[in-house]
Amino acid sequence: MQFVDEVLVEVHAGNGGNGAVAFRRERYIPFGGPSGGDGGRGGDIVLVADTRLTTLLDLRYRRKVDAKGGENGRGSDMYGRGGVDLELRIPPGTQVFDAKTGELIVDLATIDERFVIAKGGRGGRGNLHFATSYDRAPRRSEPGEPGELRQLRLELKLLADVGLLGYPNVGKSTFIASVSRARPKIADYPFTTLVPNLGVASLGEERNFVVADIPGIIEGASEGAGLGLRFLKHIERTRVLFHIVTLDPEPKRSPGKDFDTLMEELRKFDEALAGRPMIVGVSKMDLPDVQAALPNLKRQMKRRGHTVMPFSAATGEGVREVLEAMETILRENPIAPAPRNKPLPPRNRTRAAAEEETPADEEEPYGIYVKPGQVPNDGLDDEG
């Protein structure tokens, strides 16, 4: 299934029905008077946060949503039927912006939360409301009011307590698979994880928290290299960041340099996110090379103001200690930070995206998704 976290959609609430002009006509009643009923109210469009949804895929190809309008009034004092409200179900954690102004309208972060995003028009009054002592047979009525029309941009930002950061292939997916029932794809090549994954870590009864694993970030991500920085929005609500480093077989890379590079990319995305409480972990401690390099890694991180927590997701060594450290920070920070109240700018186009140019007569759809089997540009193609 495609993971879609951004969509543009136009919503149009139902128009109100027109009021009727009619007169009572019965035998032996020559002056029955006006009997035109009111038009029905137009249907509202209501956003509902539904826990059964994890993506905005249902709205990706539904560019325009229209609620039903109210029926027109009729004679014999009959009012028109009101339009049925239309519910749009979206995942919890979705922010709704005005597509034209970029203003945040609502942040549906609570399960089953409801919000009327577009109100239906009021039905027009029939001529029975206009009878007076001077005009006992009015021949006028009111038209129904139009329903609200809004252009919206929806951005999904996952609800999680802990966010995993790190270069590709440092073991983030292996870690989340070892501490939860999440089963992300795990392989020995970069960018195995193409979409965010959520898992519930447990330390015992009533000691649970949600961990988010996002795709790896590389140098130049703020310019669109690799998968870019756009998936970082899914850890904006997290209270703790778990930054994973390890030894890499590539000679040009080192854990300290990887840490500095990723932190710089993080600051380019959001300064507040870079200053969030952080745990630094050294993964793959079951490998002899990593064990030998651990003292040097500790010295490097100490110079940067962090202590490291070594662990091995493959053997389970040190994993519980990491989870307990996460739980301690979560208790010290019980309130989840508010995400940014501005939408992300238009996404940067990578080389892979440029090769799949959308025809000029078609509008490029919003949202980030990856086709099955697609490998993103890792930003290293020009290294030779």
Domains and CATH numbers, the chain: 1-156 (2.70.210.12), 162-383 (3.40.50.300)
Are 61 and 104 a contacting pair, CB within 8 Å? Answer: no
Q: In what order do the strands lie in the sheet containing 149-156?
A: 64-66, 6-12, 149-156, 94-98, 104-108
Name the average pLDDT for the chain: 82
What confidence score (pLDDT) does residue 74 get? Answer: 92
pLDDT, mean of residues 235-264: 85
Residue 126, pLDDT above cutoff 90: yes
Span 314-370, pLDDT tens digits? 899 999 999 999 999 999 988 878 787 777 766 544 434 434 444 433 343 334 334
Residue 233 is classified by DSSP as: G
What confidence score (pLDDT) does residue 143 get? Answer: 94
Are 19 and 125 a contacting pair, CB within 8 Å? Answer: yes
pLDDT, mean of residues 215-244: 78
For the chain, what percent of residues have pLDDT higher than 90?
34
- Which residue did the predictor score with more confidence, 18 or 32? 18
- Res. 236 pLDDT band, cuts 50 70 90: confident
Span 157-198, pLDDT tens digits? 888 899 898 888 888 888 988 888 877 767 665 666 677 888
- Ranking 120-129, 266-275, 314-323 by mean pLDDT, the lowest is 266-275
What confidence score (pLDDT) does residue 225 get? Answer: 65
Residue 283 and residue 260: Cα distance in Å, rounded?
17
What confidence score (pLDDT) does residue 71 get? Answer: 95
Residue 253 and residue 190: Cα distance in Å, rounded?
14
Residues 6+ apart with CB under 8 A from 360: none
- Which residue did the predictor score with more confidence, 241 or 375? 241
- Ranking 5-9, 58-62, 98-102 by mean pLDDT, the lowest is 58-62
- Res. 121 pLDDT band, cuts 50 70 90: very high
What confidence score (pLDDT) does residue 384 get? Answer: 33
- The rounded Cα 277 to chain-centroid distance in angstroms is 23
Highest mean pLDDT among 12-16, 29-33, 53-57, 189-193: 12-16
In a 3-state reduction of DSSP, which class is residue 9?
Answer: strand
- Which residue did the predictor score with more confidence, 207 or 192? 207
Residues 6+ apart with CB under 8 A from 304: 256, 259, 260
Span 130-149, pLDDT tens digits? 988 888 889 999 999 999 99
Closest-CA residue to 249 (of 314, 195, 293)? 293
Closest-CA residue to 116 (of 42, 26, 218)? 42
- Res. 222 pLDDT band, cuts 50 70 90: low
